[in-house]
Amino acid sequence: MGVEEELLLVDPDDGSPLGLAAAVLPAADDLDGEMRAEQVETGSVPHVDAGALAADLRWRRGDAARAAKTTGAALAALATSPVPPGPATSVEGRYGRILDRFGAVATAQLTNGQHVHVEIASRAEGVGVLDRIGEWLPVLRALSANSPFWRGEDTGYASYRSLVWARLPSAGPSRVFGSEEAYDAAVEAMMATDTIVDDAMVYFDARLAARFPTVEVRVADVSRTVEDAVTIALLARALVSTAAAAWAAGEPPTSAPVEALRLAHWRAARAGCVHADGETGVLVHPRTGRPVPAHEAVSALLEHVDHALGDDRELVQAGMARVFDGTTGAAAQRAAFASGGLREVVRSAVVDP
């Protein structure tokens, strides 16, 4: 598994986003640009071991933070900016074309996600995985929720990033494809409309990666801490492994209709696992399609992937405890706001160089 993390460049004093990516990128050892100049992206190498992945992510966050510091900026692990941004700084190349084509919808995408790549044996297996994980991804979204604030206000959502990202016409859940050929035909049909600028804009919640032999799971907000990022990565890997085994055994796809999946994702983004008032959120149960307390949906996920988690089971259980204790993501941001306002929200998510 490998992990890509999008991170926010901010003013260390007032927490506002800074469009300094062009200056930050050359100062880092391994860093990429993003759609907005206030963002940068790290990408780990593939790992089997959770500890090695954690060490890699920690080093890459530190490298990016040190590069940001050379420009007077700080680096924050936030999925949206709590402090209102200034005018968008222009970018060139592919992202510039996206901004030109999609206008305000693209300009609004000052959003940071965590993308988990999980190795597959073949593209056919990968499509089999996609056809069998869709109903579980809203739970993963809820567990990762880390974006309650938008343009200076508490939105009432746990993952407002999800709502902003969903404005892009190629984003969201995908149908059951049934075969590699059907997946490719769907991508070709999208390209034929001349709406998206390239096939990398096929922003399914999970997709076949274009550059790697992986399934790329894309629903998660970027995590505030490395420990939380590893938890999400382990769950994503376990989901892919479980689905691959089901595909190999000839078990039929189980994914819910896209129309129902969209509503399940909305519920996940709205409340996450813990409401703003501390009460347990409500999620759609992946098997029944009915609303249940979040801990029931999470328990179903853990039971579903238990065999695939193996020795990582305790790490994931510890991550679940943090979520329901209200010490991660959106709940942690709201606690920071209560103690010091928006600046404290940003400060609490700043990565140490």
* Pair of tokens at residue 19: 């469009």
252: containing domain:
2-348
pLDDT given for residue 88 in this prediction = 76
pLDDT given for residue 254 in this prediction = 82
Domain assignment present for 124: yes
First vs last C-alpha separation in the chain: 25
pLDDT given for residue 255 in this prediction = 78
pLDDT given for residue 239 in this prediction = 99
8, 76 contact by CB (below 8 A): yes
Domain assignment present for 116: yes
pLDDT given for residue 94 in this prediction = 92
Measure the CA–CA gap between 330 and 272, rounded to whole angstroms. Answer: 8
* Pair of tokens at residue 198: 């390239």
Domain assignment present for 319: yes
Measure the CA–CA gap between 239 and 231, rounded to whole angstroms. Answer: 12
pLDDT given for residue 92 in this prediction = 83
Query: What total number of domains does the chain contain?
Result: 1
* Pair of tokens at residue 165: 């990202």
pLDDT given for residue 89 in this prediction = 74
Q: How does strand 282-284 pair with strand 291-293? A: antiparallel
DSSP reduced 3-state for 159:
strand
pLDDT given for residue 351 in this prediction = 98
pLDDT given for residue 86 in this prediction = 86
pLDDT given for residue 91 in this prediction = 80
- Specify the CATH number for the domain of residue 26: 3.30.590.20
Domain assignment present for 236: yes
Give the side-chain half-sphere CA count within 13 A for 90.
Answer: 4
Strand partners, 293: 282
Smallest CA-to-CA distance from 293 within 277, 279, 306 is with 279
Domain assignment present for 259: yes
* Pair of tokens at residue 68: 């940001």
Residue 249 backbone phi and psi in degrees, to 5: -80, 0
Q: pLDDT 10s per residue in the chain (353 long)?
A: 999 999 999 999 999 999 999 999 999 999 999 999 999 999 999 999 999 999 999 999 999 999 999 999 999 999 999 999 988 777 889 999 999 999 999 999 999 999 999 999 999 999 999 999 999 999 999 999 999 999 999 999 999 999 999 999 999 999 999 999 999 999 999 999 999 999 999 999 999 998 999 999 999 999 999 999 999 999 999 999 999 999 999 999 987 999 999 999 999 999 999 976 778 999 999 999 999 999 999 999 999 999 999 999 999 999 999 999 999 999 999 999 999 999 999 999 999 99
Domain assignment present for 231: yes
Please report, for residues 18, 108, 133, 156, 184, the alpha-carbon distance to residue 153 in angstroms, rounded to integers and kept in the order given: 19, 15, 33, 9, 41
Domain assignment present for 353: no
Contacts of 173 (CB under 8 A, 6+ apart): 134, 137, 204, 205, 258, 261, 262, 265
Q: What is the largest CA-CA distance in the chain?
A: 56
Beta strands in the chain (DSSP E): 2-10, 32-33, 39-43, 74-76, 113-119, 149-150, 153-154, 206-208, 214-221, 282-284, 291-293
